[in-house]
Amino acid sequence: MSNLLDLAGIGAGPFNLAVAALMRDKSLSHRFFEAKAEFSWHPGLMLPGAMMQTSYLKDLVTPVDPSNPCSFLMYLVENKRFYDFLHAEQRTVTRREFADYLSWAARRLDSIQMNSRVQSVVDNGEYFELDVHGPNGREQVHTKNLCVAAGKKPNIPECSRSLLSDNCFHALEIALRNPDVSGKRVAVIGGGQTGAEVVINLLNKHWGRPQKVTWVSRRSNYLPLDETPFTNDWFTPEYVDVFRQLSPQRREEVIAEQKLASDGISPDTLKELYQLFYRLVHLEKNSECVSLMPNRELVGMSHRCDYQLQLENRLLGSADGTEWIDADIVILCTGLCEALPPCMAPLQEQIARDREGRLLLDDAFAAKLSGDESGRRLYFLGTGRSSHGIAEPQLSLSAWRAAQVVNDLHGSAEYDNQQTSNFMKWITPQAEQVAVA
């Protein structure tokens, strides 16, 4: 078949953009399909002042291919702001600037086809058939290999599912909804970075002046993201390699133990929040406008003219800690969860999973298709936390991850992805264990 692609990609968020950037000058044919008409990166959470939690050097390409024309440094140079950027001495950049960089990179890559939603994927045993709804109507695309990086879906607490509305919604869309909270009692559920950013913007009257903001967190406190040097060593290719050697049970334990390395609130945001609360409560004498409730899990919800939220405080033990609060608006900052896009439904049964239903991905992020001996590759990016560890849903390793895919696809080391190990000795070498025994 003459028009059979070597690789098609579903989605053109940062993870597939990295693959596209590294495939740019390679001989294999490739196209990436993106449903949005114009590039945007989490536009619903593009809130004033939001900062990246990852260094701009961990961009789409630099860690594996620093001379690639899609690097962040190239973006600065081409936009004629290299020196100003340098003199601003920023450790991280705003989310807005990073999104602009991603958008700039997407425009330079001919393989990205915007306004093209992959409606379904069928496996005919020799290649994948994609039904793509693009700007010029429907197109059947045939590809030998497929790279799925279609993002995650909002995690909605069970008790809120039937109550979703204009006044009870997930924060992922808040900047697009632009809710009017003037004079309203607002409950923010979730004590991570998104919850923190939403609370800051509520109290800064970005959506009007709320009567009261109640911030509920299941965690024991408003806990910081750990971005210290040794913790950052968990976000390295070498550590992923170590993680891959752990048993499934140890992997789950390690992921739980490392939660705050990827899921806490940036220390700068915490400082900003505390200073804001200090000003409101002590200087503006407005202690009624904010209530912080850590240790509480949202366990029940009902709606009459407003919302009644049942919270369980487990600090003192079990059942005695039940409280109810009322709110006019409920904003769920309850995170995102891994999910395959609906277009992959026809392949669901064929994709190998473990007993808990988690994807079984190999070192190159490829899943096994049951009964398939053809050697075709089906990559999943951003959905392998249980197989590759806490760095998987993050940008930190997106260039390295993309290089793993590109090398695997070519069957050769197109990019030198080998890292020399540093001073961290994560595991006991087998030989030494035997000697001691």
Ligand X SMILES: Cc1cc2nc3c(=O)[nH]c(=O)nc-3n(C[C@H](O)[C@H](O)[C@H](O)COP(=O)(O)OP(=O)(O)OC[C@H]3O[C@@H](n4cnc5c(N)ncnc54)[C@H](O)[C@@H]3O)c2cc1C
Q: Which positions touch ligand X (CB under 6 A)?
A: 10-11, 13-16, 33-36, 41-42, 45, 52-54, 117-118, 149-151, 341, 343, 381-382, 393-396
CB 249, min distance to ligand X, A:
26
In the three-class reduction of DSSP (H, G, I as helix; E, B as strand; rest coil), residue 155 is classed as coil
Which two structure tokens, joined as six digits, stand for 18?
A: 């990295």
In angstroms, what is the minimal distance from the CB of 74 to ligand X? 20
Quickly count: other Cβ atoms within 10 Å of residue 356's Cβ.
8
CB of 38 to ligand X, least distance (A): 10
Residue 74's DSSP bridge partners are: none
Nearest-approach distance from CB 134 to ligand X, in angstroms: 10
Q: Using CA atoms, how far apart are residues 354 and 252, in angstroms rounded to an integer?
A: 13
Question: What's the CA dihedral at 133, 134, 136, 137 to 10 degrees?
Answer: 10
Please give the full DSSP string across 43-95, using - where no structure is assigned.
Answer: GGG--TT-B-SS-TTSSSSTTT-TT-TTSHHHHHHHTT-HHHHHHTT-SS-BH
Q: Which is nearer to ligand X, 295 or 386 (CB)?
A: 386
Spatial distance between the Cα atoms of 106 and 135, rounded to a whole number of angstroms: 17
Compare residues 23 and 45 and give the one whose CB is closer to ligand X: 45
> In the bound complex, which residue of the shown chain has the CB atom lying closest to ligand X?
13
Residue 71 is which amino acid? S
Nearer to ligand X, 187 or 390 (CB): 390
Shortest Å, Cβ 34 to ligand X: 5
Q: Which is nearer to ligand X, 307 or 400 (CB)?
A: 400
Q: Nearest distance from residue 3's CB to ligand X, in Å?
A: 20
When computed from its CA atoms, the radius of gyration of the chain, rounded to whole angstroms, is 23
Instruction: Write out 309-339 in H/E/C secondary structure.
Output: EEEEECCCCCHHHEEEEEECEEEECCCEECC
Nearest distance from C-beta of residue 201 to ligand X, angstroms:
13
Q: Which is nearer to ligand X, 309 or 378 (CB)?
A: 378
Measure CA 23 to chain center.
22
DSSP 96-148: HHHHHHHHHHHHH-TTEE-S-EEEEEEE-SSSEEEEEEETTEEEEEEEEEEEE
Q: Is the Cβ of residue 214 or residue 394 nearer to ligand X in the bound state?
A: 394
Q: How far is the CB of 43 from ligand X (least distance, A)?
A: 9
Nearer to ligand X, 11 or 190 (CB): 11
Nearest approach in angstroms of CB 306 to ligand X is 28
Name the residue nearer to ligand X (CB basis): 33 or 169. Answer: 33
Identity of the residue, 154 or 157, whose beta carbon is nearer to ligand X in the bound complex: 154
Comparing C-alpha atoms, which of 277, 298, 297 is closest to residue 289? Answer: 277
Task: Tokens 């277009």: give the residue.
Answer: 343
